[in-house]
Structure 1
Amino acid sequence: MKQLIDFIPLIIFFVLYKMQDIYVATGALIAATAVQIVLTYFLYKKVEKMQVITFLMVAVFGGMTIFLHDDNFIKWKVTIVYTIFAIGLAVSHAIGRSAIKGMLGKEITLPDHVWAKVTWAWVAFFSFCAGLNVYVAYEFPLDVWVNFKVFGLLAATLGFTVVTGVYIYKYMPKDEDGKPTKNENEDHMS
């Protein structure tokens, strides 16, 4: 359910872009992202930092897109969000508080070197996507960029998530039957 809520603003943006234009779609994206945060808080009593950062970037760059009637701002939002994610992961790892381990470490037990490789892989992925977005935004027509933003980056993120899962699975502790064991923290909570 939570993942579906996360995609609703993107779907609304895409549909309204196709039906109207980038400015109507951007206004709807701002509103839908605000509703998404409220709905997430109402359902889960918590809003993740990534959602707040994304909303702030959507509101600022989307607002500038509408106010200045310049679609370059909404194009840059994608690159800035991915850059913030890459920097955030790198800094969290450098100070010894890996954000990825913090999110998944309660459910998955892995050696620290694996958490480090996963973190740096995501830093590289987000950095690559940030650069690729700039390239697509300025080398191709707006229609191509919208399709890339909605489908290309989504597919790339889902694909990279699967690759990360396969990599992590190799290093998870296994029982005698070769099945992943529960995290020690889960046993104490049960």
Structure 2
Amino acid sequence: MKLFLDFLPVIIFFGVYKFTGDIFLATAVLIPATVVQMGYTWWKTRKIEIMQVTTLVLVVLLGGATLFFHNDLFIKWKPTIVNWLFALAFILVPLFTKKPLIRQLLSGQMDLPDPVWQRLNLAWTVFFIAMGIVNLFVAYNFSQEIWVDFKLFGMLGMTIVFVILQGLYLAKHLQDNTTEQR
């Protein structure tokens, strides 16, 4: 349910764009949809994640710039900036906390050796950088319609594939860890 809620503004953006063919109208709808999504999340959980705040700020700023300047490049840059900010967090947080960010996020769910946490942190960093690059490649080399399709299906698909690959990698280490505990 959380994944659906996280993607709901993007799905609404996609639907409005597909129905009207107007990226500016889709952007105008995306901004309040993201605000409503965050309000609902706050109402339901009484907490908001930094990822949601970052996304909201960038949707408002870059979506607003898209509408103000009537230039779709601002909204097309949003996924890249979000992904690169996440990559930066995965790089910087361990410098200050001495623990990989992925470990801080997932250590409650699993116990892994330090080198595995570090490799996972690096994998997420590379993934976020690559997602930003691929988004720009699509935004600058393909039609607006293809970019809108990519934003929903391509990025979601890439994320699902990455998470599955991560799960396969973790399965080996989680089994090793279980075997060692016996």
TM-score range, shorter chain: over 0.9
1:175: how far off?
Answer: 5.5
Aligned-CA RMSD value: 1.6
Conservation of the 8 A alpha-carbon contact between 1:2 and 1:40: no
Following TM superposition, the consecutive aligned residue runs of length 4 or more in structure 1 with deviations greater than 3 angstroms are none
For 2:161, the equivalent position in structure 1 comes to 159
> What letter matches 1:101 in structure 2?
R
1:37: how far off?
Answer: 0.9
TM-score w.r.t. the length of structure 1 is 0.89
Percent identity at matched positions? 42
For 2:8, the equivalent position in structure 1 comes to 8
| C-alpha distance in structure 2 between counterparts of 1:161 and 1:46, whole Å | 25
For 2:54, the equivalent position in structure 1 comes to 53
One of 149, 152, 159 as aligned partner of 1:150: 152
> What letter matches 1:81 in structure 2?
V
How many residue pairs were aligned? 178
| C-alpha distance in structure 2 between counterparts of 1:125 and 1:2, whole Å | 21
For 1:91, the equivalent position in structure 2 comes to 92
Deviation track 1:35-54 (CA, whole Å, cap 9, x = no partner) reads 11111111111111011001
Matches within 5 A, 1:56-135: 56-95=57-96, 96-135=98-137
Conservation of the 8 A alpha-carbon contact between 1:9 and 1:32: yes
| C-alpha distance in structure 2 between counterparts of 1:116 and 1:109, whole Å | 13
One of 161, 174, 178 as aligned partner of 1:174: 178
| C-alpha distance in structure 2 between counterparts of 1:98 and 1:47, whole Å | 21
The gaps in structure 2 that reach 5 residues or longer are none
Deviation track 1:46-81 (CA, whole Å, cap 9, x = no partner) reads 111011001111110000001111001001111111
| C-alpha distance in structure 2 between counterparts of 1:170 and 1:40, whole Å | 35
Deviation track 1:82-117 (CA, whole Å, cap 9, x = no partner) reads 110111111112331322111110111001110100
Deviation track 1:8-35 (CA, whole Å, cap 9, x = no partner) reads 1111000001112101111111111111
| C-alpha distance in structure 1 between counterparts of 2:41 and 2:149, whole Å | 26
> What letter matches 1:174 in structure 2?
T
- The structure with the largest helix share of the pair is 2
Q: Which moved further from structure 2: 88-97 or 74-83? A: 88-97
| C-alpha distance in structure 2 between counterparts of 1:28 and 1:98, whole Å | 37
